[in-house]
Amino acid sequence: MDRGECSAIALAEELKANRLLMDERAGRKLAQTLALPTIGTIGILLLAKEERIVSEIAPLLDDLIDQGTWISPTFYQQILQMAGEE
């Protein structure tokens, strides 16, 4: 876990944040042990779809993949199903 994740966790604790945006597994595990609710990038995209901030998330997932984010084909399909796009 790097300094950025440690700082984000410390700030979330200090502010008593409702959620901590964290994609890194180690950071999420530490946040969980501290009882800090987390959400990742995919969770944010699903919320944005649910709240009708975006109409579809498939193009956004494709952009993430194009930028180097690894999403397995199986997980990609699961995300689309959760978003009602499959």
* Residue in this structure with the two tokens 């993430």, named with its chain if needed: 64
pTM of the predicted structure, to 2 decimals: 0.84
Convert the pLDDT of each residue in 42-70 to its tens digit.
999 999 999 999 999 999 999 999 999 99
Per-residue pLDDT at 51:
97
pLDDT value at position 30? 94
Q: Where are the domains of the chain?
A: 3-39, 45-82
**8 Å CB contact between 3 and 20:** no
Judge whether 26 and 1 are in contact, CB under 8 Å.
yes
Q: Check whether 6 has a pLDDT greater than 90.
A: yes
pLDDT digits (tens, 9 = 90+) for 9-43: 999 999 999 999 999 999 999 999 999 999 999 99
pLDDT for 86 equals 83
The separation between the first and the last C-alpha atoms of the chain, rounded to the nearest angstrom, is 35
